[in-house]
Amino acid sequence: MMLSAVALCFFALSAALLMNIFGAQNDAMENGEMMGDFAEDFTETFGKDLARKRLLTHAQIRAAQIDREMNSLKEGTKHIALMMERLLVKMDGAGHRNIPDPNRQAIRSGEVYLFYSPEVRTPEAMAAISPEIDRVAGIVDTIENTASFYLDYSGSIYLASEKGYMFCADILPSGQEQVVFTEEFLSSYNPKERPWYRAAVAEGKPTTTELYMGSDGFPIFDYAVPYWDAHGLAGVAGIGFSLRSFSRFMRDEGIKGIKGSGTYFTLNDKGEIVFSSEQDGILSVSDERRDLRRGTEESLAAEAARMVAGEHNVASVTLNGEAYFLAYAPISSVGWSYGSLIRANEVMDVVQAVRESVAENVDDFADSMQAFFRDNLLEMTLRLAVIMTVLFFISRLAANRFVSPIIALTEGVREIATGNLDKKILINTGDEVEDLANSVNDMTRDLKAYMENLSHITAEKERISADLDLAANIQTGMIPHRFPAYPDRTEVDLYASMEAAKEVGGDFYDFYLVDDNHLAVTMADVSGKGTGAALFMVIAKTMLKDFVLGTNCGSLGELVARVNDQLRQENTERMFVTAFIGILDLRTGMFEYVNAGHNPPLVYRAGESRFSFLAVARNFVLGGRKGINYQKQETVLAPGDVLFLYTDGVTEALNEKEELYGEDRLLETLNRIDVSDISAKEILEAVRSDVALHVGEAEQTDDITMLSLVYKGGRDVDGKVLG
């Protein structure tokens, strides 16, 4: 039955195939001619479009590269201005710092120096501004860091104050190491009279100056940003940038798929060429500041107008009687445009070559099709005879060879499906059926091993999870968590909380009575997260408390120094702790404290009815380096005053837009609270609610730890307020 059915179908298909072959031969020849004509036309059209796309892509990539450089320059300038504002408003300063003076010593490329305007070079004037310079000297690090990103460029990074001083770093071209100052510059240069300073002051916002020609023969422009203090305008930060730095974007590296070379240039918002790969001609940089929109080449002038308007396109233009393709794209950050000009014949030569190649291939195809049909007809006749002879024998063997193994395979798979993973299917046919059986056996073995491994992995994960839960419970148990903390003491109301970002955290708080009249409080943050930070937190917390309670080593600053030395001695992992430690005299309100690199606390003064940041010395962190001296500070808390301690998990909490909660919002939130009528716990809950509102659905990235202490004043034996 199988042989007969196959033979009948074979003869029917053969007859139909022969008829179709003759019909297909005629159709193929006719369609081949039509396809040849179509292919030639399509190739030409496609080639033109492809060339235009490559030209436009090249222009857009180059424009984007320049745009990124410009945006980077702007962000760097804004960062310098922002850091200066923070130093002026919030920081206490790091003391005097020796900054190079160009009037007294040589200045290297990229080195920050301090320059005084002529009107402030008197001893009295310099003495008046010296405290502010010491206060903001940290801006030198910001300028040096910014300069390190522009070492391959040529320009200046500067910050000029309204009070007559200027921090500046000049970046010279490669090969020049020392900045050369003219006598005129040193004696009469006044930053406040420079165009960039006046432009930033006049605009009152970030601004880009007009281009001007530098001493290196390349155009220069400045990006200037005004910065402010509590009294208004405080100065201007800026970066002066030589367009020489963009020379690498103008090198002729060719365009993929297009022969020959082109002209590459940059046009500013006034239609003037500010940079070009050409040394002369209408597309070269000129001191005459030609407006390309008003040139004699009408087609080029029209496209220049579109370039200035911020468009991107590939257009045909004529220059000196010769046809060109002009591709251009906008440089959005500065309102410029990048253009590339390629001869039209260099673009179309490739298209014509492809068209001719397609035509030649179509002719070859027609010849090969005729030979193909002729040869296949002869081969088919011979194969028919051979196939019919062999078919009879194959059909008989196939029935016995394939049916039995397939049945055995089916029954084996059915038994495995019932759950018997020890079942082995034994088939020895030496063909694909045997391979399939072996694959089923391998799959069964792997499935069994996978299920066993899955059981072990699940058990291990459950054990690790239990260990982490135990560690979290132990860590929670090590810090005070019963409130009210001292129900029999009326001098203070105290509440604290800690939320770990992981199962266990590196933040901790602590409070305890040193004796009947002194209360110690601690807020700390260990570097890192997770189990390692939690272990280091246990060590740091234990040492601090043991030294406070059991060591008589003089002042609180000396005590903290000894804790620091002990932490550093065995600190092989180079971890460190930022900490705030204070001791409150419950009778008088005297509060001694040491800040070791931690966030400054906030203090509420009942007499002023507002919160403000507590003044803290810039001491080093604990465990970072031995032999550090820590400055002890003091303040007095009056009845009704509040002390609020926290870690950076509060101020650095991020929302879904990756925006920081920040110190300003924390201060604003606390000042909205009427602390005169609520408890320490309610103060913490109000801050935590506002942080949660800011974070929204974003994942918590850091431990959030806070402590609030309300000082109610010392009490006598009758319970009356003493202070």
Residues 415-459 have pLDDT tens digits of 888 878 788 888 888 788 878 888 888 888 888 788 777 667 656
CATH of the domain at 96: 3.30.450.20
Could you tell me the two tokens for 660?
Answer: 């920081």
Q: Which residue's structure tokens are 């391979």?
A: 435
Whether residue 707 contacts residue 511, with contact meaning beta carbons closer than 8 Å, is answered with: yes
Q: Mind listing the pLDDT tens digit for each residue in 46-69?
A: 777 887 888 888 888 888 888 888
Q: Mind listing the pLDDT tens digit for each residue in 57-106?
A: 888 888 888 888 888 889 999 999 999 999 998 756 656 788 999 988 99
Whether residues 442 and 486 fall in one domain: no
Q: Which residue's structure tokens are 């194969």?
A: 383
Angle value at C-alpha 598, between 595 and 602, nearest 5 degrees: 80
The continuous run of DSSP H or E covering 66 comes out as helix 2-89
pLDDT above 50 (res 385): yes
Number of domains the chain is built from: 3
Evaluate the omega torsion of the peptide bond into residue 484 and state whether it is cis, within 30 degrees of 0: yes
Q: Does residue 38 sit within a domain?
A: no
Residues 6 or more apart whose Cβ sits within 8 Å of residue 129: 120, 161, 163, 164, 165
Whether residue 370 contacts residue 376, with contact meaning beta carbons closer than 8 Å, is answered with: no
> Among 5-14, 477-486, 600-609, which stretch is predicted with the lowest mean pLDDT?
5-14
Helices (H) and strands (E) in the chain, counts: 13, 24
Could you tell me the two tokens for 368?
Answer: 């090969």
pLDDT band at 476 (very low <50, low <70, confident <90, very high): low
Whether residue 130 contacts residue 114, with contact meaning beta carbons closer than 8 Å, is answered with: no
Task: Provide the pLDDT for residue 107.
Answer: 93
Q: Which residue's structure tokens are 């160009």?
A: 102
The C-alpha atoms of residue 181 and residue 104 are separated, in whole angstroms, by: 12
Whether residues 494 and 450 fall in one domain: no
DSSP class of 676? G
The C-alpha atoms of residue 191 and residue 119 are separated, in whole angstroms, by: 11
Q: Mind listing the pLDDT tens digit for each residue in 270-284?
A: 888 887 878 788 888
Q: Mind listing the pLDDT tens digit for each residue in 625-656?
A: 999 999 999 999 999 999 999 999 999 999 99
Q: Does residue 10 sit within a domain?
A: no
pLDDT above 80 (res 394): no
Q: Does residue 605 sit within a domain?
A: yes
Could you tell me the two tokens for 189?
Answer: 């240069």
Nearest to 639 by CA among 556, 564, 696, 722: 722
Whether residues 118 and 255 fall in one domain: yes
Whether residue 581 contacts residue 520, with contact meaning beta carbons closer than 8 Å, is answered with: yes
The C-alpha atoms of residue 709 and residue 611 are separated, in whole angstroms, by: 13
The C-alpha atoms of residue 85 and residue 261 are separated, in whole angstroms, by: 50
Whether residues 462 and 507 fall in one domain: no
How long a stretch of residues is the chain? 723
Phi, psi of 633 (to 5 degrees): -125, 165
Q: Does residue 243 sit within a domain?
A: yes
Q: Does residue 326 sit within a domain?
A: yes
Could you tell me the two tokens for 269?
Answer: 């918002």
pLDDT above 90 (res 347): no
DSSP class of 6? H
332 against 492, higher pLDDT: 492
Task: Provide the pLDDT for residue 248.
Answer: 59
- Exposure pattern of 254-281 as b/e (b: 16+ CB <10 Å)? ebeebeeebbbbbbbeebbbbbbbeeee
Number of C-beta neighbours around residue 404 at 10 A? 13
Task: Provide the pLDDT for residue 481.
Answer: 85
Q: Mind listing the pLDDT tens digit for each residue in 522-547?
A: 999 998 777 777 888 888 999 999 99
pLDDT above 70 (res 15): yes
Nearest to 340 by CA among 327, 352, 330: 327
Whether residues 458 and 518 fall in one domain: no
664 against 481, higher pLDDT: 664
Whether residues 449 and 538 fall in one domain: no
Whether residue 222 contacts residue 158, with contact meaning beta carbons closer than 8 Å, is answered with: no
Bridge partner residues of 166 (DSSP): 115, 160
Could you tell me the two tokens for 150?
Answer: 């522009």
pLDDT band at 624 (very low <50, low <70, confident <90, very high): confident
Which of 22-36, 124-138, 257-271 has the largest mean confidence? 124-138
Task: Provide the pLDDT for residue 717.
Answer: 45
pLDDT above 60 (res 657): yes
Could you tell me the two tokens for 153?
Answer: 């460029």
Residues 6 or more apart whose Cβ sits within 8 Å of residue 153: 171, 241, 242, 245
Q: Does residue 28 sit within a domain?
A: no
Whether residue 605 contacts residue 627, with contact meaning beta carbons closer than 8 Å, is answered with: no
For the chain, what percent of residues have pLDDT higher than 90?
A: 41
The C-alpha atoms of residue 579 and residue 656 are separated, in whole angstroms, by: 29
Burial of 491 (0-12, 13-18, 19+ CB in 10 A): buried
pLDDT band at 269 (very low <50, low <70, confident <90, very high): confident
Whether residue 328 contacts residue 339, with contact meaning beta carbons closer than 8 Å, is answered with: yes
pLDDT above 60 (res 265): yes
pLDDT band at 355 (very low <50, low <70, confident <90, very high): low
The C-alpha atoms of residue 132 and residue 517 are separated, in whole angstroms, by: 41
Nearest to 508 by CA among 465, 539, 485, 486: 539
**Which residue type, as a one-letter code, is found at position 670?**
L
How large is the average pLDDT for residues 485-493? 92
Helices (H), 204-342: 298-308
The C-alpha atoms of residue 676 and residue 631 are separated, in whole angstroms, by: 32
Nearest to 160 by CA among 232, 73, 224: 224
Task: Provide the pLDDT for residue 451.
Answer: 75
Whether residues 468 and 483 fall in one domain: no
Residue 537 backbone class (left: φ over 0; alpha: ψ -120 to 50; beta: rest): alpha
- Exposure pattern of 132-144 as b/e (b: 16+ CB <10 Å)? bbebbbbbbebbe
**Which residue type, as a one-letter code, is found at position 318?**
T
Task: Provide the pLDDT for residue 414.
Answer: 83
Task: Provide the pLDDT for residue 27.
Answer: 75
Out of 446, 473, 500, pick the residue that ends a domain.
473
Number of C-beta neighbours around residue 296 at 10 A? 7
Q: Does residue 85 sit within a domain?
A: yes
pLDDT above 70 (res 349): no
Q: Does residue 513 sit within a domain?
A: yes
Q: Is the pTM of this model over 0.85?
A: no
Q: Mind listing the pLDDT tens digit for each residue in 188-246?
A: 999 999 999 999 999 999 998 887 776 666 778 889 999 999 899 999 999 987 877 66
Q: Which residue's structure tokens are 């929302």?
A: 655
Residues 6 or more apart whose Cβ sits within 8 Å of residue 187: 118
Out of 473, 489, 508, pick the residue that ends a domain.
473
Beta strand 207-208 with 219-229: parallel, antiparallel or unpaired? antiparallel
124-131 long-range CB contacts below 8 Å, 24 or more apart?
125/164, 129/161, 129/163, 129/164, 129/165
Q: Mind listing the pLDDT tens digit for each residue in 695-708?
A: 999 998 889 999 99
pLDDT above 90 (res 364): no
531 against 179, higher pLDDT: 179
Could you tell me the two tokens for 719?
Answer: 């319970």
222-226 long-range CB contacts below 8 Å, 24 or more apart?
222/195, 222/196, 223/73, 223/74, 223/77, 224/77, 224/196, 224/197, 224/199, 224/200, 225/77, 225/78, 225/80, 225/81, 225/200, 226/81, 226/200, 226/201
3-state SS, residue 424: coil
Whether residues 55 and 197 fall in one domain: yes
pLDDT band at 3 (very low <50, low <70, confident <90, very high): low
Whether residues 571 and 674 fall in one domain: yes
Whether residue 506 contacts residue 528, with contact meaning beta carbons closer than 8 Å, is answered with: yes
**Residue ranges making up the domain that contains 48:** 43-372
Whether residues 451 and 319 fall in one domain: no
3-state SS, residue 296: coil
pLDDT above 70 (res 6): no
Whether residues 167 and 118 fall in one domain: yes
> Among 29-43, 164-178, 370-384, 594-608, which stretch is predicted with the lowest mean pLDDT?
29-43
Burial of 492 (0-12, 13-18, 19+ CB in 10 A): buried
pLDDT above 80 (res 389): no
Residues 6 or more apart whose Cβ sits within 8 Å of residue 305: 271, 293
Whether residue 219 contacts residue 270, with contact meaning beta carbons closer than 8 Å, is answered with: no
Average pLDDT over the chain reads 84
pLDDT above 90 (res 333): no
CATH of the domain at 646: 3.60.40.10
Number of C-beta neighbours around residue 408 at 10 A? 16
Whether residues 464 and 518 fall in one domain: no
Task: Provide the pLDDT for residue 208.
Answer: 87
Could you tell me the two tokens for 123?
Answer: 């001893």
Could you tell me the two tokens for 345?
Answer: 């014949």
In the chain, the N- to C-terminal Cα span, in Å, equals 115
